[in-house]
Chain A
């Protein structure tokens, strides 16, 4: 059977979350969508996840807290950080905190698709 990778998406905007979910289903991924960093951490502890996609700007704990936490428990988990607020965090910072890719909203889907494939590829192989 073909392996279906699991993507955990964190965005507190339900519309964006839904759009993400569609996108990843078309990429043949199984999707877990959550709206807060707390829920995301909970899922990371209870589910196997192949890729984490998170917005920076979330209620209470931010996406960066989630990223730092995720990298502390799963150092090799690929993470894609997305933000609509370039002045909150730069690409350099995001990468230093351990993000593999950094994208600004509105998203360029081709670039996102390419990044996702690279992340999931390095996840499965070697």
Chain B
């Protein structure tokens, strides 16, 4: 059987060569192109069954080429490769119909697997549910999510798919406090066709029930004592934009019931009014995972929960994507240099090793606060461990109580245990300068067990070597 042709597009000849070698071994014919224009020509001439394309190339931008490829042949799978893996490119690539989105460095196994998958997929013919979203990302830069770890790439891809669903599809964002739930809500808003409409965030814990109710629903003149003029509620103010209900787990039973009705009927009345008003906005709600527990305990309506989470985004805690902490640290360093008019250039190796292994019970928010404080304190060029460690140690000295991450005992115990293991292993490696044998000996564990813990938490000995 004749194997299909694969087109590889990259401005780096080394990458082209590597692809050709891998694919040739598997029996595919490869066609190579150095830029987008050449790629489009080769597509008409060779009709490849699959394209791998780098996104950052001179002349025409890879995303633009992808768009043109998809107009030429909608069904040809195009795998996008990128060295950066930013949120915007991932979202846009998926919206434009990329088959897969890979970040460098690429490994051979992944190339093989994607090739197989992609070629298998074109043998299927189904009416493609075309994704015709358009990324309105320009105004989004301020709300960019930073992080290139695999779990965050999944989040970006999901944001891309979500942004093309209609506004009546509600979205629930789950994640510990400080993981970036509000940023994700904004990213969904900014990536969709209604990005120019209002984004209206409301913290359900910020106001007592009656005030929150009139904030959300608005009221007619004289609806209750103190209701002077007619006031529009957030549901109306949002128009066809997005209503972001943060900490939804804290909504009172009365408001839960009213919200359920709004979601079901897509309409509501102002307090004291009786005209039904259409809701055009998308509801994005956020909570920590404990909402399930609240439901079991009867504090949160099950029917509302299942309606809210028709689409769910799970944000992993920072300690489960440690690679991101160094990117985030550098990002916040720049941010606070600018804000505080400082010019700190970076982190000492030791400070970075600490940042990469600290378990961050407060997630990205905690990292951000840590960096802000360190930038403020640093007089020299680079941030040293002392500028970081002090607040962390301080709190642990002053309050011996452990952070309770969840009301659920079993969950809490697992999380704390993980934090402990991670910190324990890092501290020892730091003490023994990355010498695993010595660290294992110091801990009176076998080397195997110590290494098992290291790989469980993705801790690398070399980041502790001087």
Residues 127-176 of B at the A interface (beta carbon under 8 Å): 128-129, 154, 157-158, 160-162, 165-166, 168-169, 174
CB-CB < 8 A to B160: which residues of A? 72
Interface size of B as a range:
35 or more
With contacts A62-B309, A87-B264 taken as known, whether A72 is within 8 angstroms of B122 at the C-beta atoms is no
Dominant SS at the A interface?
Answer: loop
In this assembly, does A109 line the interface, its C-beta being within 8 Å of a C-beta of chain B?
Answer: no
Distance to closest chain B CB from A11 (angstroms): 15
Query: In the complex, A95→B298 CA distance in Å?
Result: 33
Q: Which B residues between 294 and 316 are near A, CB-CB below 8 angstroms?
A: 306-307, 309-314
- Whether B421 is near chain A, meaning CB under 8 Å from some CB there, is no
Q: Are B124 and A68 in contact (CB under 8 A)?
A: no
Is A126 within 8 A of B125, CB to CB?
yes
A76 close to B157 (CB less than 8 A): no
In the complex, what residue of chain A is closest to B120 when comparing beta carbons? A48
Contacts A60-B314, A61-B312, A96-B129 given; indicate if A75 touches B97 (C-beta within 8 A): yes
CB distance from B10 to the nearest CB of A (A): 22
Any A CB within 8 A of the CB of B99? yes
Tell me whether B161 and A69 are in contact (CB under 8 A): yes
State whether the Cβ of A33 lies closer than 8 Å to any Cβ in chain B: no
> What's the Cα separation between A100 and B128 when bound, in Å?
10
In the bound complex, CA of A100 to CA of B10 (Å): 35
Decide yes or no: A93 and B99 within 8 Å by CB, A61-B314, A74-B121, A98-B129 being known contacts: no
Complex alpha-carbon distance, A111 and B52, angstroms: 39
> What is the distance, in angstroms, from B310's C-beta to the closest C-beta of chain A?
5
Q: Is B122 touching A76 in the complex (CB atoms < 8 A)?
A: yes
Considering the chains assembled together, what is the distance between the CA atoms of A62 and B313 in angstroms? 9
Query: Which residues of B lie under 8 Å from residue A19 when comparing CB positions?
Result: none
- A selection of 25 A-B contacts at a CB cut-off of 8 Å is A57-B306, A60-B174, A60-B292, A60-B314, A61-B309, A65-B158, A71-B161, A72-B160, A72-B161, A73-B100, A73-B157, A74-B117, A74-B121, A75-B99, A75-B121, A76-B128, A77-B124, A78-B126, A87-B264, A88-B310, A93-B166, A96-B165, A97-B165, A122-B124, A123-B124
| A-B complex: 3 closest residue pairs judged by Cβ atoms | A98-B129, A68-B161, A76-B124
Interface residues of A (CB under 8 A from B): 37-38, 48, 56-57, 59-62, 64-65, 68-69, 71-78, 85, 87-89, 93, 95-98, 100, 122-126
